[in-house]
Amino acid sequence: MKMSLQFWNLKWGNKGFIFTLDMIIAMTFTIIILILANYYVRSTENPLTKLQMEKTGSDIAALLDNLGILDTLSDEEIEEDLEDILPVNYDIKLSIITKKGITLNIGSALPDDKYVISGKRVFVVTQNNIIADEAFVQYWIWLK
Amino acid sequence: MPKSQAAVADLFIAFFLFIIVLSATIYTWNIYITRIDEERENNEITMKAFQAAEALVKSQGIPENWSLSSVNLTGLAENERILSFKKVDLFVNLTEEQIKNIFKIQLYNFSFVLKDIEGNKIKEIGSITGEKSVNVKRYVVYENEPAILEFKMGK
């Protein structure tokens, strides 16, 4: 015991050092908290990206409906038009189900590792100016 | 005598460390305040830009048959996300100040660009200056063709 007290060889003993050690521990904790807080403040996501993605998905579904592309109920035709309309940095999957039982799945497979936004739009299938069916299109959109 | 020396040395060390921690805290605090202010401002610009773009593509405007002399809200739609040729034409003939007053964005610059799907400009008004800007893109139908409405806002 006596050996360890004399280890630091301070002429005023080790009391002052213990007090400073407390301070160093407190300071270390404070700095860790500041660094963690800084990390969390810095990593706040930009809300614009998600909002823009949500609006793009909704707009694309509305556009396909308004241009009468969905009325064709042809997966090839819808996919072809979708390629022209969809912005290059986005990928999309569409699932169309009509009341009469027609089901279409168009676009890429859903990714496991990306943030995906989904939405649904109800529409009326009009062919030759006659309401032929009722349907909904569900879309999933994500950044490539 | 040695005991009082120890206490003073200890005080100096503690005070020195305290000053370091205090300086770091004040510095970090100031950074946080700046970042929070920037984020608040960015969110405000983003929300205003999205609200303006939403009104333009979904609303017919107030009154519905608004004109250059009587307009409370400029909506460009004849149906949801289908733009009216006449209203787009009227909109680009409004002054920038009129548009800013309508959307209550007097503190910001804005630019409105309507492009075809290949990126060729069809109509535009306004210009963006300054460091911060937000660009909102909406996909619409214009003259039976797909088009892109870009509403940029900046400060």
Output the six-digit token pair for A88: 């290059």
pLDDT of residue A90: 93
Q: Which residues in B have their CB inside 8 Å of a CB on A? A: 2-3, 5-7, 9-10, 13-14, 17-18, 20-21, 24-25, 28, 31-32, 35-36, 39, 42-43, 46, 50, 53, 57, 79-82, 117, 134, 136-141, 144, 146
Instruction: Write out chain B residues lying below 8 Å of A11, CB-based.
Output: 2
pLDDT of residue B36: 86
Number of residues that this document lists for chain A:
144
Output the six-digit token pair for B78: 């004849």
Residue among A92, A69, A84, A125 at smallest CA distance from B144: A69
- A110-137: pLDDT as tens digits: 999 999 999 999 999 998 889 889 999 9
pLDDT of residue B32: 84
Q: For residue A87, is pLDDT > 70? A: yes
Of the partner residues A11, A34, A52, the one whose CB lies closest to the CB of residue B137:
A52
Instruction: Write out chain B residues lying below 8 Å of A63, CB-based.
Output: 81, 139-141, 146
Residue A54: how many other CB atoms lie within 10 Å: 14
Q: For residue A68, is pLDDT > 70? A: yes
pLDDT of residue A1: 47
Instruction: Write out chain A residues lying below 8 Å of B17, CB-based.
Output: 20, 23-24, 27
For tokens 């995906």, the residue is: A116
- A16-37: pLDDT as tens digits: 555 567 777 887 888 888 788 7
Contact check, Cβ <8 Å, A87/B43: no
At CB < 8 A and 24+ separation, what contacts does A114-120 make? A114/A142, A114/A143, A115/A50, A115/A53, A115/A142, A115/A143, A116/A140, A116/A141, A116/A142, A117/A50, A117/A53, A117/A54, A117/A57, A117/A141, A117/A142, A118/A57, A119/A54, A119/A57, A119/A58, A119/A61
pLDDT of residue B100: 92
pLDDT of residue A13: 59
Q: CA-to-CA distance for A75 and A96, rounded, in angstroms?
A: 9
The 3-state DSSP class for residue A33 equals: helix
Contact check, Cβ <8 Å, B139/A48: no
Output the six-digit token pair for A89: 């940095």
Of the partner residues A19, A52, A66, the one whose CB lies closest to the CB of residue B136:
A52
A40 pLDDT tier (thresholds 50, 70, 90): confident
Q: CA-to-CA distance for A61 and A70, rounded, in angstroms?
A: 9
CB of A34 less than 8 A from some CB of B: yes
Query: What is each CA distance from A60 to B35, B94, B132, in whole angstroms?
Result: 35, 29, 28
Of the partner residues A10, A47, A60, the one whose CB lies closest to the CB of residue B139:
A60
| Higher-confidence position of A14 and B72 | B72
Q: For residue A97, is pLDDT > 90? A: yes
pLDDT of residue A12: 58
In this structure, are residues B113 and B150 in contact, taking their beta carbons and an 8 Å threshold? yes
> Which residue ranges of chain B lie beneath pLDDT 50?
none
Q: What percent of chain A has pLDDT over 70?
A: 82
- A98-109: pLDDT as tens digits: 999 999 999 989
Contact check, Cβ <8 Å, B140/A59: yes
pLDDT of residue A26: 81
Q: For residue A54, is pLDDT > 60? A: yes
| Higher-confidence position of A52 and A38 | A52
| Higher-confidence position of A78 and B32 | A78
CB of A25 less than 8 A from some CB of B: no
